[in-house]
Chains A and B, each alone.
Chain A
């Protein structure tokens, strides 16, 4: 028995130590830091309790960035999920070229977003960008897409949707492949043959669980958007595109306000954990039903 225990410890030990060093300890350090006034390179820190959280929640800049993040998520998630589902339905109905389309639409997801952001920057350049040139050619006045407060966030949303749609599509394609074809045949004989009826009668019940999964994961991805903000807008103009992760980065590594960054990280983590718990809960309830 004790020999088995030693073997178990020996086998699990290395990974447990790695997890402890790389995940648990840093997390505890972040949580600890958020209760101090520590600044990187500054004097010895003192405990300040919840002061950092109070400051952060009262800070209009932080409120603005939380609101911007919420707006961003609320646009990207339905956009990418809906478009991903539509693409998956179209592609699964294809007789030929299925894998070609699949690859084309999945490419944006596997391409490095930071590099792709450069490409978008060139496309959206106010004077020589393809977007403005094309619009001017048909008589629409040029817009400085990334410097205009009205367009900066929507442009990031579009890029976010462009990036996440392929991800959603691949999962929907997998779910659609599991829908029994005999059910579609039965629906056609039962008088529910129209595509709209068949979608709700046959397809929707089979992809419900996958839809939930896709929504939660895409939400997590959208919450963690950083590359496009860093490359394209730096959070501007004003606070229009200061998404949460970018704020944390700025606080920690541009302003070196380490404890503020730690507090923001903890809030961010709580939001992400709530999301994960929600997914688990909804998933269990579905299985139970």
Chain B
């Protein structure tokens, strides 16, 4: 358990700046996801923390200790790789034991131990074996210990890789898209297990993913990264409900955002189509803004904005309707109980509390109910 503090970290590869002055603090035992599209620099950040890449500027402190110039093996950091990176010639047991053997035995002892020659190293080896067995029991992979990676399924390899990362009881666990090579069902199951194991071991965790659902499901906090910057750091609820910018709002959420370009009247009141929202944004009065609703921010209603149903995406408990309004496609999330027919005219009622308003630069701006006094 240790606190991770990243301050002003920058990195460029040749002429391309990959990370722009990244700062991030993870409390001891916290699970933080680095979420962003591919190429946003999240994996590079993780590799710098691991010591596999060198930063150009900035500092990383783990449990108060500065990590610049410390070799990867001495950082007290473990990592689970995207491909799991298990050594194919070794059994699961040997894979998990390797970080301990590398530290507790000398090169010569490792060689001698292979041929069961040296008494002292055999004693150390027996202790390592005990630890591996205990961890395997916790991870429920005891039965798999003598198999080689080729004989393991994706999910089993994942657990072995996790075992190898946890065996040293490092202060910080790094995970680089550890679920991306699993199939969809296993991914959901494994992410639950990862979150549970992380809590059980109390290890501080940095988890890289491009999948926002995954990040929301497992994280204490999410750091959204775009173009080499952390654009927002917050709990999953904050990121979803109060995205700091249009870019964050568009990236988070499984269905696309419904966006409308508006010019606010001089009094700053906001309306959606012909329907007044009963909200206003005084600071943006008379300016161009973007009004956005998530699919659940629009409801089917008896009256409101007229639209036509074009397609229904049925998900069982819920459904997403693709409807046409004024020549544009909108997405509406609705209960699956009473679905309209395709081609049917419907009316949409916006939920004022779910409205998101962004200024011309894409920054989210405050929006407030009409009756309360405006604070200028």
Contact = CB atoms under 8 A, between A and B. Distances in A.
B281 interface: no
B73 A182 contact: no
B99 A190 contact: yes
B240 interface: no
Given A182-B81, A182-B82, A189 B73 contact: yes
Nearest to B111: A200
Given A183-B87, A185-B52, A190 B107 contact: no
Given A185-B52, A186-B79, A197-B107, A191 B85 contact: no
B51 to A, nearest CB: 8
A67 to B, nearest CB: 35
B88 A188 contact: no
A183 B107 CA distance: 19
B146 to A, nearest CB: 15
Interface residues of B, number: 23
A190 B82 contact: no
Interface in A142-192: 180, 182-183, 185-186, 188-192
A192 B164 CA distance: 13
A214 interface: no
Nearest to B89: A205
A185 B98 contact: no
A237 interface: no
User: Secondary structure of the B side of the interface?
Assistant: mixed
B103 A191 contact: yes
B339 interface: no
B103 A205 contact: no
A202 B72 CA distance: 17
B102 A192 contact: yes
A186 to B, nearest CB: 4
Contacts of B82: 182
A188 B72 contact: yes
Interface in B158-195: 164
Contacts of B164: 186, 190
Contacts of B216: none
A201 interface: yes
Contact of A191 (B52, B88, B99): B99
B78 interface: yes
Interface in B64-101: 71-73, 77-79, 81-83, 85, 87-89, 98-99
A13 to B, nearest CB: 44
Given A185-B52, A186-B79, A188-B52, A193 B73 contact: yes
Contact of B73 (A188, A201, A206): A188
B50 interface: yes
B77 A189 contact: yes
Contacts of A188: 51-52, 71-73
B81 A191 contact: no
A189 B50 contact: yes
Nearest to B88: A205
A201 B87 contact: yes
Most buried by B among A185, A190, A205: A190
Contacts of A191: 73, 99, 102-103
Given A188-B72, A189-B77, A183 B99 contact: no
A192 to B, nearest CB: 5
Contacts of B83: 180, 182
Contacts of B52: 185, 188-189
Contacts of B47: 185
Nearest to A185: B52
A183 B85 CA distance: 5
Nearest to A192: B102
A196 B107 CA distance: 10
Nearest to B107: A197
B81 A190 contact: no
A193 B71 contact: yes
B89 to A, nearest CB: 4
Contacts of B77: 189
A191 B81 CA distance: 16
Given A183-B87, A185-B81, A186-B79, A193 B72 contact: yes
Nearest to B176: A182
A186 B77 CA distance: 11
B102 A190 contact: yes
Contacts of B81: 182, 185-186
20 contacts: A182-B81, A183-B85, A185-B47, A185-B52, A185-B85, A188-B51, A188-B52, A189-B72, A189-B73, A189-B77, A189-B78, A189-B79, A191-B73, A191-B99, A191-B103, A192-B73, A201-B98, A202-B87, A205-B87, A205-B89
Interface of B: 47, 50-52, 71-73, 77-79, 81-83, 85, 87-89, 98-99, 102-103, 107, 164
Given A182-B83, A191-B103, A192-B102, 15 more contacts: A183-B87, A185-B52, A185-B81, A185-B85, A186-B79, A188-B51, A188-B52, A188-B71, A188-B73, A189-B50, A189-B52, A190-B99, A192-B98, A197-B102, A206-B88
**In the complex, the 5 A-B pairs of residues with the closest C-beta atoms, listed nearest first:** A191-B102, A186-B85, A191-B73, A205-B89, A182-B85
